[in-house]
Structure 1
Amino acid sequence: MLAEILNFQGTSPIWGMGSLSKLFLDFHDENSLTKTYKEKITKGRDALRNKIGNKFEEKGRKKPQHCTQGSYAMKTAIMPLDGDEFDLDNGVYLRGYSTDQDDWPAAQTVHTWVKEAVEKHTSNSPIDKNTCIRVVYEDKYHIDLPIYIMGENSAGDSIAYLAHKSKGWIESDPKAFTAWFQGYVNENGQEIRRMVKYLKAWKDYKNIDIKGMAITILVCNNFSVTEKRDDLSLLDTVTNIIDSLEDSFHCYKPVTPTDEDLFADVSETSKNEILKGLNNLKKKLDAAINEKSNEKDATDILQKVFGERFPTGEDADKDIAESTAGPIKLGNEDKHFA
């Protein structure tokens, strides 16, 4: 009889209280950027690109190239909570320069060029930050404009240099980071993206002081998958992240500069708060998955760490059969891919 059970539909059953995976997938979809929101922020981005290009041409400079970067490019962006601003990164890549940095304009100078180009684009004055020019929109989002020139590092490799207002031109390659992340997605599937987005939703709701890039790196370095079970995959991934941080509280960038620790400036108090938050998340996930048979009871627990965007389950036992059911497929694409 046991052998017959194990061979049912050719898949080993997953024992326990049942699956919450369908609800996690619904939560993922609820958290993802809507089509209307995407259209709004990309319209703002494209308007800025045109404005910068026109101003550069007017001043006799080559039009820059542009590249959408960060979470939007990696498809790990989530809808901001009420009152929060969405952050879209648009890299401005200057052209017409050799790889010899002695021929480059000063970092502060190119900040001034871009700031002047977008002046009065919105009712808010552009903000000249160390790493970018920020354009703030009334409609609860802002667009960051980091500025780059392509050069060569000490090893002779082609790499992007960021115009840092106080440090000058520094090595920074967001395209390489996106490619690094995409490699993990290609190897492991869309679950990687969903794990990142679940943790970003937790971070935002619980106001945890950790960067989205750090979450992305931690997920990739500690990812664990239980096939077709996002609930268990998230629990195992969070457990692995906690173990890694308790062993060594560091998060090094996987691309140049690889010696940059994203936690280098995090205080001991903040480190403790991050670990405390992660342990609380683990505790809630474990209770919802392994201690509650009733779906609504389980989601009541999960809403305490993810907020009311997490769907409320039915007042009934969790569906064991769902543990063998994968995401709905539309053609060859995963319906739950942002």
Structure 2
Amino acid sequence: MADLNETFVSFNGNIKLSEKRKKELRTSRNAVREDIRKYFDDNRDKHTVKFKGQGSFSMNTSILPLSGEYDVDDGVYIFGKEEDRPTPSQAHGWILKAVENRTNQNSIDKNTCVRVQYAAQYHIDLPIYYKTTDNDNEYFFDSSDVPELAHKDKGWIPSDPYAFRLWFEEKAKGKEQLKRIVRYLKAWTDNKHHLNLPSGMIFTILAVNNYVSKDRDDEAFLETLKSIQLAIDSSKNFWARYECFRPTVDTTENLLVKYSSETKKKNFLDALDSLITSGNQAIEAKSKKDACAKWQKHLGDRFPCSNIEEKDEDVAKAFSSPDQLRYDNKSA
């Protein structure tokens, strides 16, 4: 049986953000924060502002996307009295004004955030929240006072991404392998972007809820995939439900509804099944190169097969020339 644990760990190194990139992003994020603080100090007598990182960057599960365009999500929390609450469009306008000179790129006003675009192929998304209480602790987290997101179409809606971050950090505490599996899932969806597979948040929840720990990353990834399939694919398990609920506000929201059309659902479940089939074949393969090709078909060229050395001389001989590569056209 082929052991590709080292190959998976190398793959993780290929797709995760480097410390240099992280530092660059933090520097840009902090500069944007200072712009917003200054704007509020100078222009908003009835409001104060604080910040909390959110999303994959804050949870250390970010990957470098194939497009080269990566991002940071940084929540902007406006504090004030209820009677001084702005409209979502007003709140967006304040943040747009605050960051207008940060880069030479035009900032983008989206429904759920303001995006500060940098020329170096990254951007900072600034979702905006309103809170009427501030308990003055470092993270101003208060489960009884859920922040409300400024959505330009839907108005102020309850949303607490920091609670999601706390949930993930608790579930992933001491489980670096789980974080790597989340990155592997994101890299898979990035490589299969044409299929419009579910979001990184959905796969983060599915990975946490169905995580299977193993000594080897290839086995842990495969067993977690199987567990996810048994949870959501009724064609494989009668008790399965095509559902993925938020663990925090709003806990009644099934995030897979967005991917429930006949085409999207079929694409997702078929792709998942194909990945599992290839994973099974890879685990059972005698040749590491053959096993690596099975995974690489789904995870992309960043999955490193070129540096694999066969220990079995007979198997290595079979790969002595390109036309002898043992690919099975009928395999997944």
Question: What residue is the counterpart of 1:214 in the other structure?
Answer: 202
Structure 1 position 22, deviation (Å): 1.6
Question: What residue is the counterpart of 2:33 in the other structure?
Answer: 49
Alignment check: 8 A CA contact 2:3 2:288 kept: no
CA root-mean-square deviation: 1.8
Identity %: 38
Structure 1 position 268, deviation (Å): 2.1
Residue 37 of structure 2 aligns with an amino acid whose one-letter code is G
Question: What residue is the counterpart of 1:274 in the other structure?
Answer: 268
Three-state SS of the structure 2 residue aligned to 1:265 is: helix
Structure 1 position 238, deviation (Å): 0.6
CA deviation map 1:243-290 (0-9, x unaligned): 222122221111011112212222221111111111111111111111
Pair 1:159 & 2:140 matched: no
Please say which of residues 118-127 and 303-312 is displaced more in the overlay: 118-127
Please say which of residues 60-69 and 294-303 is displaced more in the overlay: 60-69
The 5-angstrom pairing of residues 210-289 of structure 1 reads 210-226=198-214, 228-246=215-233, 247-266=240-259, 267-289=261-283
Distance, in Å, in 1 between the alignment partners of 2:283 and 2:92 is 50
Alignment check: 8 A CA contact 2:96 2:107 kept: yes
Alignment check: 8 A CA contact 1:151 1:161 kept: no
Choose which of 147, 150, 156 in structure 1 pairs with 2:131. 150
Equivalent pairs counted in the alignment come to: 292
Three-state SS of the structure 2 residue aligned to 1:264 is: helix
Distance, in Å, in 2 between the alignment partners of 1:202 and 1:262 is 19
Residue 41 of structure 2 aligns with an amino acid whose one-letter code is E
Alignment check: 8 A CA contact 2:77 2:129 kept: yes
Please say which of residues 57-66 and 26-35 is displaced more in the overlay: 57-66
Please say which of residues 110-119 and 299-308 is displaced more in the overlay: 299-308
Distance, in Å, in 2 between the alignment partners of 1:261 and 1:102 is 33
Alignment check: 8 A CA contact 1:184 1:192 kept: no
Pair 1:37 & 2:18 matched: no
Alignment check: 8 A CA contact 1:293 1:317 kept: no
Distance, in Å, in 2 between the alignment partners of 1:268 and 1:151 is 43
The 5-angstrom pairing of residues 1-338 of structure 1 reads 17-61=1-45, 62-81=47-66, 83-95=67-79, 97-98=80-81, 101-151=82-132, 157-186=144-173, 189-207=175-193, 208-209=195-196, 210-226=198-214, 228-246=215-233, 247-266=240-259, 267-290=261-284, 292-312=285-305, 313-317=307-311
Q: Highest relative contact order (Cα 8 Å, sep 6+), 1 or 2? A: 1
Structure 1 position 119, deviation (Å): 1.5
CA deviation map 1:123-144 (0-9, x unaligned): 3321111111111212111110
Gaps of 5+ in 2: 134-142, 234-239, 313-332
Alignment check: 8 A CA contact 1:294 1:315 kept: no
TM-score by length of 2: 0.83
Distance, in Å, in 2 between the alignment partners of 1:143 and 1:160 is 20
Structure 1 position 63, deviation (Å): 4.6
Alignment check: 8 A CA contact 2:72 2:124 kept: yes
Structure 1 position 49, deviation (Å): 0.8
Distance, in Å, in 2 between the alignment partners of 1:271 and 1:39 is 38
Structure 1 position 121, deviation (Å): 2.5
Distance, in Å, in 1 between the alignment partners of 2:270 and 2:121 is 30
Alignment check: 8 A CA contact 1:132 1:145 kept: yes
Alignment check: 8 A CA contact 1:235 1:286 kept: yes
Structure 1 position 18, deviation (Å): 4.0
Please say which of residues 56-65 and 124-133 is displaced more in the overlay: 56-65
Residue 175 of structure 2 aligns with an amino acid whose one-letter code is G
Structure 1 position 85, deviation (Å): 1.3
Three-state SS of the structure 2 residue aligned to 1:236 is: helix
Residue 200 of structure 2 aligns with an amino acid whose one-letter code is G
Alignment check: 8 A CA contact 1:252 1:260 kept: yes
Residue 115 of structure 2 aligns with an amino acid whose one-letter code is R
Distance, in Å, in 1 between the alignment partners of 2:288 and 2:250 is 46
Please say which of residues 205-214 and 171-180 is displaced more in the overlay: 205-214
Structure 1 position 314, deviation (Å): 2.5
Residue 178 of structure 2 aligns with an amino acid whose one-letter code is I
Three-state SS of the structure 2 residue aligned to 1:143 is: strand
Distance, in Å, in 2 between the alignment partners of 1:274 and 1:18 is 27
Gaps of 5+ in 1: 1-16, 319-338
Distance, in Å, in 2 between the alignment partners of 1:19 and 1:288 is 9
